[in-house]
């Protein structure tokens, strides 16, 4: 009876150890998989973090800083999150009105529809139906005083109706590469499906500031509207953007800000677009969904100061192109006709990069234009996209200057590649096999040490101790 009892205990013990052995094996391999995954993720994250500065802590819910020269997003917090733009919408309105106008001196007549479409109590300069202003005067009323009836009048004047103008706004947004933007009105008054993102709004602001008339008006601090056909007194206007026009809040003054647009509704909260330039760096900062006026201004200063501290401008022509490795047919055709050909990018083209950027870490990807001939003088033969830390930091035209015009020769048939050459260019399966075998042997050794050998030794020691205990009890019973 004692012997059977001992055997039963031994069987139970072996089953327990077997289960423990299986669990240990599974846990070991799971640990290895997790370890490799974590190492891979952390390595990539560490590399990106080391190369590209992170956004500092700010109170606004969304924000971006974009380099105006290249369109590169330098700093971002929820940059692709949709939000209501409020009156920063008027940047798009002003841009379209200027682009479609024959002259800034053309006359705009205010209709009852334009005035009624603006909510009572919202931003206004007190225009009455039938009043006439020049388009230039309207733009000052739009960008400085943020007048909603002016936005509506410009929309009707430009497109015939507010709805038609909204369609134009959406078409322009798509043209600029805005993928998360939809406009319903020219003023920015709240509508549920009237939204954009900080990144998209920065694209719109970048396009607008390239227009001289827009830049002149958006950077104006004060303006006086002259008398009109119905208004016998002048109307003084003051820009609501307090970074470059601090008015009664001198603490908001920021010497590097030269233009911008404010925006506020109850639903959208405080939104701000600011054009800021320091030295060679010119950026646009977009703040969205800020809880207060003070937050939008202090956050703009913090983000742009951080940008100027962490980034610098790099001349694109200082970066090696490695044309022999990256270029294709067009490049080959030109060399065929002009062996001493020189290829350049614009000497004035600059790229915004982190201050710690190593020029050798910047890569240049060349996309060639399909040309059949070149003309005497400068020829754009393609585009160079520069990347750093996994981010596109700019696109520049690749230029070839020729002393004469000539057509390209017809391309010759590509010769069949020899099997040996293909093998040399192909994947090195031997090396991959050796690496895989080495990894397998290391894992097998670790498994033997930590899963098989050590638990087995422990189990044997426990089993011997267990048997000694049974024998001791048996001797006592006898």
CA nearest neighbour of 338 among 370, 396, 381, 382: 381
Alpha-carbon span 331 to 379, nearest angstrom: 12
Q: Taking a C-beta distance cutoff of 8 angstroms, is the pair 49, 391 a contact? A: no
Task: Respond yes or no: is residue 90 known to be catalytic.
Answer: yes
**Candidates 87, 123, 187, 274; catalytic one:** 87
- For 320, how many CA atoms within 13 A lie in the half-sphere containing its CB? 7
| CA-angle at 242, arms to 239 and 246, nearest 5° | 95
Helix (H) / strand (E) element for 79: namely none
261 is known to lie in a ligand binding site: yes
Helix (H) / strand (E) element for 12: namely helix 2-51
Q: Looking at domain 62-311, which CATH architecture does it have?
A: 3-Layer(aba) Sandwich (3.40)
Q: Taking a C-beta distance cutoff of 8 angstroms, is the pair 134, 106 a contact? A: yes
Alpha-carbon span 301 to 129, nearest angstrom: 41
Record the tokens describing residue 269, joined without a space: 């909260």
Record the tokens describing residue 210, joined without a space: 């390239």
Q: Taking a C-beta distance cutoff of 8 angstroms, is the pair 185, 265 a contact? A: no
CA nearest neighbour of 273 among 196, 353, 170: 196
Q: What is the pLDDT of residue 252?
A: 95
Judged by DSSP in three states, 353 sits in strand
Alpha-carbon span 309 to 220, nearest angstrom: 28
What CATH code would you report for 319-407?
A: 2.60.410
Task: Respond yes or no: is residue 132 known to be catalytic.
Answer: no
What is the value of pTM for the model shown? 0.75
Bridge partners, residue 67, by sequence: 283
Burial 148-182 (b: 16+ CB within 10 A, else e): bbbbbbbbbbbbeebeebbebbbebbeebebebbb
What are the residues whose beta carbons fall under 8 Å from the beta carbon of 88, sequence distance 6 or more?
A: 188, 201, 261, 262, 263, 271, 272, 273, 286
Q: What is the pLDDT of residue 259?
A: 98
C-alpha distance from residue 259 to each of 8, 97, 255, 288 (Å): 88, 19, 11, 17
When computed from its CA atoms, the radius of gyration of the chain, rounded to whole angstroms, is 35
Bridge partners, residue 83, by sequence: 196
Q: Taking a C-beta distance cutoff of 8 angstroms, is the pair 349, 317 a contact? A: yes
* DSSP calls for 125-153: ----TT-EEEHHHHHHHHHTS--HHHHHH
Beta strand pairing call for 269-278 and 257-265: antiparallel
Task: Respond yes or no: is residue 146 known to be catalytic.
Answer: yes
**Candidates 77, 90, 269, 301; catalytic one:** 90
Q: What is the pLDDT of residue 453?
A: 56
* DSSP assignment letter at 250: G
Phi, psi dihedrals of residue 477, rounded to the nearest 5°: -70, -35
Q: What is the pLDDT of residue 110?
A: 97
Record the tokens describing residue 307, joined without a space: 């940008």
Q: What is the pLDDT of residue 38?
A: 41
Q: Give the chain's end-to-end CA distance (angstroms, integer).
A: 13
**Candidates 146, 187, 219, 274; catalytic one:** 146
Phi, psi dihedrals of residue 312, rounded to the nearest 5°: -145, 165
Q: Which residue positions in the chain have pLDDT lower than 50? A: 1-5, 26-27, 30, 34-49, 412-430, 476-478
Domain boundaries, the chain: 62-311, 319-407
């Amino acid at each position: 009876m004692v012997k059977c009892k001992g055997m039963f205990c031994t069987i139970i013990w072996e089953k327990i150890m077997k289960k423990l052995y299986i669990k240990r094996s599974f846990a070991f391999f799971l640990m290895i998989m997790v370890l490799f995954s974590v190492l891979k993720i952390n390595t990539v994250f560490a590399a990106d973090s080391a190369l590209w500065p992170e956004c500092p802590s700010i109170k606004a819910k969304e924000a971006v800083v974009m380099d105006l020269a290249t369109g590169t997003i330098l700093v971002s917090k929820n940059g692709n999150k949709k939000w209501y733009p409020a009156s920063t919408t008027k940047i798009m309105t002003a841009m379209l009105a200027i682009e479609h106008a024959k002259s800034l001196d053309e006359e705009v007549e205010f209709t009852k529809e334009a005035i009624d479409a603006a909510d009572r109590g919202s931003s206004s300069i007190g225009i009455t139906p039938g009043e006439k202003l020049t388009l230039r005067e309207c733009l000052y009323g739009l960008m400085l005083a943020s007048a909603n009836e002016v936005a509506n009048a410009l929309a009707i004047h430009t497109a015939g109706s507010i709805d038609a103008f909204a369609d134009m706004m959406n078409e322009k947004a798509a043209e600029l590469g805005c993928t998360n933007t939809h406009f319903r009105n020219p003023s920015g008054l709240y509508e549920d499906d009237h939204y954009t993102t900080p990144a998209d709004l920065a694209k719109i602001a970048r396009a607008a500031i390239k227009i001289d008339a827009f830049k002149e008006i958006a950077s104006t601090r004060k303006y006086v509207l002259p008398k009109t056909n119905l208004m016998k007194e002048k109307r003084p206007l003051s820009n609501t953007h307090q970074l470059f026009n601090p008015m009664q809040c001198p603490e908001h003054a920021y010497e590097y800000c030269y233009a911008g647009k404010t925006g506020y509704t109850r639903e959208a909260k405080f939104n701000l677009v600011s054009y800021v330039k320091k030295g060679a760096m010119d950026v646009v900062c977009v703040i969205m969904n800020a809880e207060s006026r003070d937050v939008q201004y202090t956050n703009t200063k913090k983000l742009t100061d951080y940008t100027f501290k962490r980034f610098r401008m790099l001349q694109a022509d200082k970066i090696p192109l490695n044309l022999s490795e990256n270029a294709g047919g067009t490049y080959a055709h030109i060399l065929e006709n002009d062996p001493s050909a020189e290829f350049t990018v614009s000497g004035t083209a600059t790229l915004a990069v982190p201050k710690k950027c190593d020029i050798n870490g910047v890569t240049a990807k060349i996309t060639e234009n399909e040309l059949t001939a070149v003309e005497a003088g400068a020829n754009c033969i393609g585009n160079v996209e520069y990347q750093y830390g996994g981010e596109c930091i700019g696109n520049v035209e690749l230029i070839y200057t020729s002393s004469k015009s000539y057509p390209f020769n017809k391309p010759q048939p590509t010769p069949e590649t020899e099997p040996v050459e293909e093998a040399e260019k192909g994947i090195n399966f031997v090396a991959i096999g050796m690496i895989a075998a080495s990894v397998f042997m290391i894992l097998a050794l670790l498994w033997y040490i930590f899963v098989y050998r050590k638990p087995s030794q422990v189990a044997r020691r426990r089993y011997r101790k267990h048997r000694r205990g049974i024998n001791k009890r048996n001797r006592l019973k006898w």
